[in-house]
């Protein structure tokens, strides 16, 4: 069973967070939505999310996948949070799977791992990312990094992470069970 950390902080894009958490749990994975000490997270559109754990209560290196939802205010907060940046660096260094959707590729850029690879993001943050690898695709998988364009790509993004983790049958079964057209 895969173990996934989904960091959530105030300003997170709720659709992206909830859809990826749901899809990963449908895949039978252990998912921990971890916050930076917030007991209730106020998402970008005012939806209130209850995290599973505080970041300080988990041991990130024990997880297999790190998946960042977007939401510009939340991403900006994560970009300045040292434990988040250190965890992302460690996951990348160890070849673990990392996902980032919407504005969240800014976190990956902050730690310098987007150069020499293909990726996507929400168009509103494109100018803050390396020009050479950016693509207008809904989802891009390059090595151990999967990126998604925005909330409209949340299902495809989450399913791409499931596939990239080697769970091809689970991804197809999930897509079929939620009536997602391919």
pLDDT band at 38 (very low <50, low <70, confident <90, very high): confident
Lowest mean pLDDT among 30-44, 64-78, 134-148, 152-166: 30-44
Looking at every residue in the chain, the average pLDDT score rounds to 96
Which CATH number describes the domain made up of 3-177?
A: 3.40.50.880
* pLDDT > 60? residue 182: no
Per domain, the residue ranges of the chain are 3-177
User: What share of the chain has pLDDT > 70, as a percent?
Assistant: 99
Q: Which two tokens stand for residue 54?
A: 């505080």
Task: Write down the catalytic residue from 61, 79, 102, 167.
Answer: 102
Lowest mean pLDDT among 13-22, 32-41, 69-78: 32-41
The pLDDT tens digits of the residues spanning 136-154 come to 999 999 999 999 999 999 9
10 Å CB burial of residue 73 (0-12, 13-18, 19+) is middle
pTM reported for the whole predicted model:
0.97
Residue 61 a catalytic site member: no
The pLDDT tens digits of the residues spanning 79-121 come to 999 999 999 999 999 999 999 999 999 999 999 999 999 999 9
């Amino acid at each position: 069973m895969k173990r996934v950390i989904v960091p959530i902080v105030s300003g997170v894009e709720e659709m992206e967070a909830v859809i990826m958490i749901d899809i990963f749990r449908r895949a039978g994975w252990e998912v921990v939505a971890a916050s930076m000490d917030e007991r209730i997270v106020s998402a970008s559109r005012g939806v209130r999310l209850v995290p599973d754990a505080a970041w300080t209560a988990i041991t990130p290196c024990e997880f297999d996948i790190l998946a960042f939802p977007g939401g510009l205010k939340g991403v900006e907060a994560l970009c300045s949070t040292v434990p988040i940046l250190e965890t992302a660096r460690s996951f990348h260094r160890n070849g673990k799977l990392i996902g980032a959707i919407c504005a969240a590729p800014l976190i990956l850029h902050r730690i310098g791992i987007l150069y020499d690879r293909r990726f996507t993001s929400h168009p509103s943050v494109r100018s803050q990312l390396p020009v050479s690898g950016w693509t207008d695709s809904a989802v891009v998988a390059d090595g151990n990094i999967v990126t998604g364009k925005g909330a409209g790509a949340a299902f495809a993004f989450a399913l791409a992470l499931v596939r990239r983790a080697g769970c091809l049958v689970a991804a197809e079964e999930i897509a079929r069970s939620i009536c997602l057209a391919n």
